[in-house]
Amino acid sequence: MALPRRQFITQASAGLAGTLLASLVGSVPGCAPARVAVQGQLRGAGHSLGHLLRTPGKIPPPTRIEEVDTVIIGGGVSGLAARRTLHQLAPERTTLLLELEPATGGNAASGHNARTAYPWGAHYLPLPDTRDTELLTFLQQAGVLTGYDAATGLPVYDETMLCHDPAERLLLHGHWQAGLMPEVGVPAADRAEIDRFLFEMEYLRRATGADGQELFRLPLALCSANDPMQALKKPLQAGAAAMGALTSLPLKQSLFKNHFERTNVSELPQIVNWEMDGGPFITMPQVYTEDQEKGGVFNSNLGMYRIQLSGNDYEQDK
């Protein structure tokens, strides 16, 4: 149905007037919407206090003199950890911790309102590895860890201290992306760098050194000192290790043909170690075997296997 011209102009004018009126409501006295004040503040280092240290005459003279064994300057995470460690190792020694701010904590400081406590920084502790006994002990002393499950042996935490993993997002080029790694509008070179970084992180998460320890583990003192990837990244520095590996390979028998003679099992000492054994044994011999079709060092095995020399149905020298 066609809309008459006069009716169209009337309705359009009314709509435009309503839009203009809505935009002016905030400026008309008595028509402003109710506003809720959100209390907050920006936190950071106290520059005004720090500047007093370099301004002569601004700091009042000391009122007393204290003599202590150790002074720790700074009450951040490192300073607090040092204070706790000193107290554990030498509780009889006196320690003084100095902090410029009204409260300790540094970047890990927290606050508290009428409803709950909250962190001033985004500092969350992932559930620790059960092998990290030092951290678990600290959490138990702090009341975060309340005990251990009798059936599984796993730590039991105060649920009021736990939270879900934060849902991290990234706003890039006007689009929200899940996670902190950019996905949209990333140049190929940057994408390659990100992939290489993620590969390195995954390698550190899974890899172990020659001593069987993880390459990355907290505390860092428990990390392995033998990183096999260093031989690929820095071949010159790993040259000595490579030469050591080459010299440790079994040598061909032909090099020692003038030093060895064939012997028989019956000529070896026949020692019975336990009364219930079926006969003499060599408990921990080094047994070298080769593939019958493909001989050589790289088709061989060297291991320790208990060998029976005689007794029962065993026939010597066969």
Q: Which of 213, 217, 243, 239 is nearest to 226 (CA)?
A: 213
Q: What is the pLDDT of residues 15-41, one digit of tens each?
A: 555 554 444 444 455 555 566 665 666
Helix or strand run (H / E) with residue 289: strand 286-290
Which residues in 125-278 belong to E strands, given as ranges? Answer: 145-148, 155-157, 169-172, 175-178
| Helices marked H in 207-285 | 229-233, 239-247
Across all residues in the chain, what is the average pLDDT? 76
Cis ω on the peptide bond leading into residue 219 (within 30° of 0)? yes
Radius of gyration of the chain from Cα atoms? 37
Cα 12 to its chain centre, rounded Å, is: 64
Report the alpha-carbon distance of residue 214 to residue 208 in Å, rounded.
4
What is the tens place of the pLDDT at every residue in 49-94?
777 777 777 788 889 999 999 999 999 889 999 999 999 999 999 9
Residue with tokens 């009042």: 60
- Low-confidence winner among 130-134, 135-139, 203-207 (lowest mean pLDDT): 203-207
HEC assignment per residue over 30-50: CCCCCCCCCCCCCCCCCHHHH
3-7, 117-121, 141-145, 278-282: the lowest-pLDDT one: 3-7
